[in-house]
């Protein structure tokens, strides 16, 4: 059946290419030489100097100093990409559609991190306000200003990809390798309505390598790169390849990656941390065609994770196979720009227990995502821009747990139906107006409506012991409809060339996900399978959940030199009040669990079962970022310093309890050095002790720590060499958002108190990239 479905998808993809080409042939009511709006397809050379197009040239969005320091902006970036790369500047790529709280990661900011990680989410830690919920080695969950996971809108090449797993083991960023990321934009806090709905904390936009086209008269141009990386801790190995053939108007490219690692060792020359191994591969094929300033792209991706251990979960991933297809058509008219995207994603996901956890409990999930977005940008006058759009996203989910022989009645004799053809459909519409009142003053206001429809079928358990919960769930209607409304208002003031101020307000709404509404069993074992918090507690859904509504106010001050290249400082305090925040209520303390035919009782009295519930909450904090050029010497090179500081506090206003997984005060200081083709960095990460914890979930405290990382790279003709040492002093530390070490607790007989997950010890990292 899966082969048949795959054949249908390939046929549909071919049909999309043909239809879109026909559309592109008919969409040009204007002459080829007619001037276009500022949003254009832009040619860039390898040294990042803009090439003039036949239409006209636009200035690219500024790269924040936290991602690229002033000194690195002056050096030549090398990412293994060939010349004549096309950067696609679509809807909302300038002005207040890019708030001051936006950080762009690209080029060197990404390339320098590749030897040290295979988790794409870790790339985002160079942006202010970002913290990562530790999960598997490939599946970190980003949080922005304390709002995590589904509360962050993640767009992967324009696709809305949903975690098809009770533990969110396959989040959106697990479907793209770090080596395949060309650009990652992080909008923290107040976000324009054109950049996301059905979210609270902000938006992350990740785009893979753009298409390349040959210059006029070059005929067919071929290019590519090969990369290999090694990490000593865990014997991690990664490879990446890129190849492309292109004419002046047509491009065909391939990008692939493979990575594998064993369990890593903790710091202080300690033992391995169980259930931290992984393996993955990713292959993407991209077709692109351009006609003047218009661009059509189609991409197909195959992504597989054969296994991935989860130290802070009771289960592991034993298979995740996915296909992703996305198409985009960017075109220009006399009246403005039109950006159309469509996507389809299907995943077959399997969970069980790897050898470290010594057990068996198969869990199967099939999930799909299907959707489109249509956005337009219309310059009404020289001072006014109107943006409008319509989006649709449909998610389907089937989640079932096959019986285990000899484990009745807890895990047999029947199949456990957790989610029975669950559906979640969202139709969003927005309008956004930006106005330039004076050279120093500009404003943006936007309104958005998202209609969300959810439903699921009846359920059943392994045996009669689950009958009461199943009957109670089946007796109620499951269909739910949410009418959500968002508002964003921004004002920017630039009185001089050295200062910028921006104030913003946003009302953002998110409807519950399928598990938050429809997970139904209160039994300890079944509830323990639900949850993406890494706390080893059990969770039960709630059919009466309301959407959560966040009201955020922030104020950003930015100071910089006139050219914005020698120094800059940004400070953003923020406050968020969330009505009907989806937290949890206490149901019961878990007792020992009888394992049926095994004749065993497993103690678990340290853990609780919770039901998702609405509460009012508040979050407040501050993000600080900055950089400065220290010294520029012809003999010794260029020296610079960049810094990030973050703090967030969250509170459940009904219970007074601290919200779960709030990152304590933390800072990141990086000393950069550039001498010719040689680049170096020393990074100091400082994290305060986590003492403000969530009592409801028995969240562990963690001590403060300081880590030192070293990075160095050298460019020799078309070859780049990377070297680095992570955790130079082999410090034993515990990431505040790492969750609990269930794997070790389970291996030791589940006695005593469970500890937080130790971080990774010292690792020697190396990489080489050859471009051709």
The stretch 666-679 carries a mean pLDDT of 97
* 379 pLDDT more than 60: yes
In whole angstroms, give the CA distance from residue 667 to residue 644.
5
Q: How far is CA 236 from CA 111, 228, 316, 723, in A?
A: 17, 11, 19, 14
Residues 713, 745 contacting (CB under 8 angstroms):
no
- Residue 601 predicted with pLDDT over 50: no
Q: Is the pLDDT of residue 28 over 60?
A: no
Residue 606: band (very low, low, confident or very high) from pLDDT cuts 50, 70, 90: confident
Structure confidence by residue, pLDDT tens digits, 162-182 = 999 999 999 999 999 999 999
| pLDDT at position 273 over 50 | yes
- Residue 412, pLDDT above cutoff 70: yes
Question: For residue 376, what pLDDT is reported?
Answer: 97
Contact in structure between 739 and 533 (CB atoms under 8 Å): yes
Domain extent, residue 294, equals 2-771
Residue 454 reports pLDDT greater than 90 = yes
The overall longest dimension of the chain from CA atoms, in Å, is 80
Identify the weakest region by mean pLDDT among 8-17, 71-80, 182-191.
71-80
Weakest mean pLDDT among 60-69, 265-274, 377-386, 544-553: 60-69
Question: Residue 428: pLDDT band by 50, 70, 90 thresholds?
Answer: very high
Inform me whether the pLDDT recorded for 596 exceeds 50.
no
CATH number at residue 552: 2.40.170.20
Average pLDDT over residues 534-550: 97
What confidence score (pLDDT) does residue 196 get?
81
Please choose, from the candidates 738, 742, 740, the residue with its C-alpha nearest in 3D space to the C-alpha of residue 759.
Answer: 738
Beta bridge partners of 714: 678, 721
Q: How confident is the model at residue 135 (pLDDT cuts 50, 70, 90)?
A: confident
Q: What is the total count of domains within the chain?
A: 1
Higher-confidence residue of 764 and 292: namely 764
* Lateral strand order in the sheet of 50-51: 50-51, 41-44, 85-88
- Hunting for tokens 């507690």 — which residue is that? 537
> Structure tokens of 533?
């918090």
**Closest alpha carbon to 137 in 169, 106, 161, 181:** 169
Model confidence pLDDT, tens digit, residues 720-772 = 999 999 999 999 999 999 999 999 999 988 888 899 999 999 999 999 999 99
Distance CA 649, CA 659 (A): 8
Note the pLDDT tens digit of each residue in 212-264: 999 988 899 999 999 999 999 999 999 999 999 999 999 999 999 999 999 99
| Tens-place pLDDT, residues 620-655 | 999 999 999 999 999 999 999 999 999 999 999 999
Q: Is the pLDDT of residue 595 over 60?
A: no
Structure tokens at 454: 């959810």
Q: Quote the CA–CA distance of 673 and 682 in Å, as a whole number.
A: 9
- Say what the pLDDT of residue 591 is: 76
Cβ pair 340, 313 in contact under 8 A: no
Most confident of 4-8, 16-20, 510-514: 510-514
For residue 284, how many C-alpha atoms fall within 13 Å in the half-sphere facing its CB? 27
Sequence-distant (6+) residues with CB within 8 A of 685 are 666, 667, 668, 706, 707, 708, 709
Q: Percent of the chain scored above 90 by pLDDT? A: 83
């Amino acid at each position: 059946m899966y082969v048949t479905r795959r054949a249908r998808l390939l046929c549909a993809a071919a049909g999309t290419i043909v239809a879109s080409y026909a559309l592109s042939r008919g969409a040009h009511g204007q002459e080829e030489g007619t001037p276009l709006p500022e949003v254009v397809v832009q040619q860039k050379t390898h040294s990042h100097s803009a090439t003039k197009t036949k239409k006209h040239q636009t200035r690219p969005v500024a790269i924040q100093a936290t991602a690229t320091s002033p000194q690195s902006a002056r050096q030549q970036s090398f990412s293994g990409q060939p010349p004549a790369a096309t950067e696609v500047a679509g809807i909302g790529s300038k002005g207040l559609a890019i708030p001051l709280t936006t950080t762009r990661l690209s080029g060197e900011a990404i390339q320098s991190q590749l030897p040290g990680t295979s988790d794409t989410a870790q790339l985002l830690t160079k942006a202010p306000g970002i913290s990562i919920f530790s999960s598997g080695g490939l599946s970190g969950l980003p949080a922005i200003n304390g709002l995590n996971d589904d509360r962050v809108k993640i767009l992967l090449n324009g696709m809305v990809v949903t975690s098809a797993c009770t533990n969110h083991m396959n989040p959106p960023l697990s479907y793209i390798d770090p080596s395949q990321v060309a650009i990652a934009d992080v909008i923290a806090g107040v976000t324009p309505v054109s950049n996301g709905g059905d979210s609270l904390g902000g938006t992350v936009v990740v785009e893979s390598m753009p298409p390349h086209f040959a210059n006029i008269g070059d005929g067919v141009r071929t290019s590519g790169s090969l990369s290999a990386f090694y990490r000593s801790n865990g014997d991690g190995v990664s490879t990446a390849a890129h190849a492309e053939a292109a004419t002046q108007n047509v491009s065909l490219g391939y990008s692939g990656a493979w990575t594998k690692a064993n369990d890593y060792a903790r710091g202080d020359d300690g033992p391995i941390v169980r259930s931290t191994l992984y393996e993955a591969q990713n292959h993407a094929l991209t077709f692109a065609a351009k006609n003047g300033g218009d661009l059509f792209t189609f991409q197909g991706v195959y992504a597989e994770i054969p296994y991935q251990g989860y130290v802070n979960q009771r289960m592991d991933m034993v298979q995740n196979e996915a296909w992703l297809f996305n198409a985009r058509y960017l075109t220009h008219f006399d009246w403005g720009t039109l950006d159309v995207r469509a996507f389809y994603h299907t995943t077959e996901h399997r969970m069980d227990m790897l050898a470290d956890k010594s057990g068996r409990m198969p869990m199967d999930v099939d999930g799909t995502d299907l959707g489109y977005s249509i956005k337009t940008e219309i310059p009404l006058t020289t001072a006014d821009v109107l943006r409008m759009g319509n989006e649709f996203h449909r998610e389907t989910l089937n989640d079932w747990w096959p019986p285990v022989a000899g484990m009745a009645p807890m895990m047999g004799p029947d199949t456990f139906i957790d989610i029975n053809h669950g559906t979640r459909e969202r139709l969003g519409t927005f309008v956004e107006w930006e106005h330039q009142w004076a050279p120093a003053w500009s404003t943006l206001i936007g309104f958005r409506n998202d209609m969300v429809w959810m439903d699921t079928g009846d359920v059943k358990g392994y045996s009669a012991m689950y009958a009461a919960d199943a009957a109670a769930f089946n007796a109620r209607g499951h269909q739910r409809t949410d009418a959500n409304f968002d508002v964003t208002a921004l004002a920017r003031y630039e009185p001089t060339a050295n200062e910028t101020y921006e104030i913003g307000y946003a009302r953002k709404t998110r409807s519950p996900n399928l598990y938050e509404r429809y997970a139904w069993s209160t039994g300890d074992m079944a509830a323990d399978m639900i949850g993406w918090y890494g706390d080893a507690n059990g969770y039960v859904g709630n059919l009466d959940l309301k959407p959560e509504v966040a009201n955020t106010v922030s104020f950003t001050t930015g100071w910089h030199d006139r050219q914005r290249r020698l120094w800059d400082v940004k400070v953003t305090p923020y406050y968020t009040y969330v009505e009907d925040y989806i937290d949890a209520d206490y149901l019961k303390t878990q007792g020992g669990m009888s394992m049926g035919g095994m004749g065993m009782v497993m103690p678990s009295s340290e853990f609780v079962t919770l039901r998702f519930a609405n509460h009012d909450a508040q979050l407040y904090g501050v993000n600080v970022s900055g950089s400065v050029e220290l010294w520029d010497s012809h003999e010794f090179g260029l020296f610079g310093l960049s810094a990030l500081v973050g703090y967030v506090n969250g509170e459940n206003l009904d219970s007074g309890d601290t919200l779960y997984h709030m990152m304590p005060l933390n800072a990141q200081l990086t000393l950069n050095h550039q001498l010719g083709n040689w680049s170096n960095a020393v990074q100091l990460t400082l994290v305060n002790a986590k003492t403000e914890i969530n009592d409801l979930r028995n969240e562990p405290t963690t001590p403060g720590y300081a880590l030192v990382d070293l990075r160095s790279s050298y460019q020799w003709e078309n070859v780049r060499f990377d070297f680095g040492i992570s955790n130079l002093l082999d410090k034993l530390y515990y990431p505040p958002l790492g969750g609990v070490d269930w794997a070790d607790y389970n291996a030791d007989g589940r006695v005593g108190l469970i500890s937080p997950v130790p971080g990774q010890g010292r690792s020697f990292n190396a990489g080489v990239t050859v471009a051709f």
